[in-house]
Amino acid sequence: QYIRVVLTAASTTSWWSIDEFTVYSNGSGGSTTPPPATGGSLGSNVYVFNTGMSEASIQSQLNTIANAQVSNQFGTQRYSILFDPGTYGTAADPLDFQVGFYTSVAGLGQNPGQVVINGSINSYNQCSGTTCNATDNFWRSVSNLTINVAGNTGCGAGEDFWAASQESPLRRVQVNGNLSLMDYCVGGPGYASGGFISDSVFSGGTVTNGSQQQYIARNSTIDSWSNAVWNQVFCGDNGAPAQSFASNSGDSGGPNSYTTLATCPQTQEEPYLYVDSSGNYNVFVPSEQTNSSGPTWTNGNTPGTSLPFSSFYVVNSASTVAQINAALAAGDNLLVTPGVYNVPSTISVTHPDTKIVGLGFPTLIPTNGNVTMNVADVSGVNVSGLIFDAGSTSSPALLQLGTQGSTVSHAGDPVSVDDVTFRVGGAEAGTANTAFVDDSNNSLIDDVWAWRADHGAGAGSWTSDQGNTGAVVNGNNVTAYGLAVEHFQQYETEWNGQGGTVVFFQNENPYEVPNQAAWMASSTQDGYPAFYIPNSVTSFQGYGMGSYSYFNQGVNIQNAMAFQAPQTSGVQFHDLLTVWLNGSGSINSVINGTGAAVSSTNGGPSDVVSYQ
């Protein structure tokens, strides 16, 4: 009898007789031995906790990671925290911990009820002097577990705090008790700026939106949601607030800015790692859904397919692109362990249904001006949990899906991208013409943030961290949920495909535009729209889409419109808005000259309820 073993230290795959040794490294290949606390073959920055460990030791390790990561916005450390099935903490002795940058927390059960935390998992404001906000709380996540809210004393008693902004998703969680999406205790209430929830249940308490400026929740169950600020979008959520977006939403005394869709047109939940009843690692791939509402797991197991751990090539610091591409060519999936990886040539995904799963926000950086990852025009590929950083030599794109102009339909088995960040600058100075190019018909975009940095390395100069466009979608019938694109220097999002749907879009214009002449869509059009659809497109639906300005050079920069699209009956927008955040200049209309300007004299929001 033989088993296939991935030797991650040497990054090779070999066949061994099962009689030659005993497997202790990762619990796969038939072994029922759980991995060691450091994650075994998953790497030293993967921590797997089990109920045989003392709560004191678990708490100590969690505190150590949090102390290192809470302020480590642009560091290179990455962590994945995993809990084996079981119950951790008690009401009398709760397990309370913080989640900082580049830290993913997940349960290893097949469903969220198999890992229970009696306590709280928190993200708090960060303070600079006397100003405390959560607007920079990025790159952290919680998934696939249940929180029975307990602990947190004083001001925060009875609350779990998830004060976070972009790319800090909550997926497949059940929170029994109160959840606050802002932090009103640490120098608060402070601002938070964007978030994503899917496939979750919130019961026995209130989700307090508070100062959270924009948010999307989809395919979840919500007992109570407290309020809105500018742009709160609900899609397929049981118990969601009723549709109420109006021309005066966000104004004092105006209605809440709620955009509510009863069902989501097409979804597929993110693949996730779990441990089966024999103690073996697997990756579960949920099935695609159409016209869906509510969580996938509340009436039994999530529908889908389980992939054995042996089908994954485990990428670690010793892996080369040649080895990764050889594994992909052989039909392997990829499990990318926490770390920062230089990528001197393109990672090429050629087989259909390949799953690329990142643990702990692994980060890929092209070093030769290459495309970081290219996915061929095949069906069913998923890319999840990664950060794509631009390198110092300009790349044409960081992630490329499909082939431009393809007529191949992937409707029955779409390519999907989940919880992925694209960064131009911030952690290191970089440049890319376009961050994300999607040429794959019928693809699904689910929580994607393309960010040209407004702070950090290379930021603050119009000639540094060059990036024209954050996202270009050429594929037809592409559906996006929770798309954020910020600070790019030309059209920030260009949507060229037919039949597209966007449910929630968030944008900030570039901050550091030096003068109007440097930022013109044409000789007669000031600025660039955040979301551009050319006249060739005849069908599109957009819901809950916002764009904000903060021109910070003291120059009167004008943006003619935040959204630009053909005026045809098949292209429709619902619940659009603009806001002037600070600085100089203005956004002069919401879409195509419609919608009031926002500026220092009228900060907004400026709302357009319907446009076609």
Catalytic residues: 508
How crowded is residue 322: how many other Cβ atoms within 10 Å of its Cβ? 11
Lookup: tokens for 583 = 């600085």
How buried is residue 91: exposed, middle or buried, by Cβ count under 10 Å (0-12/13-18/19+)? exposed
Helix (H) or strand (E) holding 327: helix 321-329
How does 45-58 read in b/e, with b if 16+ C-beta sit within 10 Å? bbbbbbeeeebeeb
Spatial contact of 544 and 503, defined as CB atoms under 8 Å apart: yes
Mapped onto helix, strand or coil, the DSSP state of residue 158 is coil
- Please tell me whether the peptide bond between 94 and the residue prior to it is cis, using omega within 30 degrees of 0: no
List Cβ neighbours of 61 (8 Å cut-off, separation of 6 or more): 37, 47, 49
Termini Cα distance of the chain: 65
Q: What angle (nearest 5°) sits at the alpha carbon of residue 508, between those of residues 505 and 512?
A: 160
- In the sheet where 399-401 sits, what is the strand order? 347-349, 373-375, 399-401, 432-438, 467-473, 493-495, 531-532, 563-564
Give me the torsion for CA of 561, 563, 564, 565, rounded to 10°. -150
Strands 201-203 and 95-98: unpaired
Pairing of strands 201-203, 178-180: unpaired
> For residue 578, what are the contacts with CB-CB under 8 A and spacing of at least 6?
546, 547, 548, 549, 562, 587, 590, 595, 598, 604, 605, 606
d(CA 10, CA 540): 49
Rounded CA gap, 482 and 61, in Å? 33
The phi, psi pair for 60, rounded to 5°, reads: -65, -45
Q: Is 242 helix (H, G, I), strand (E, B) or coil?
A: coil
- Beta carbons of 294 and 219 less than 8 angstroms apart: yes
Backbone phi, psi, residue 324, to 5°: -60, -45
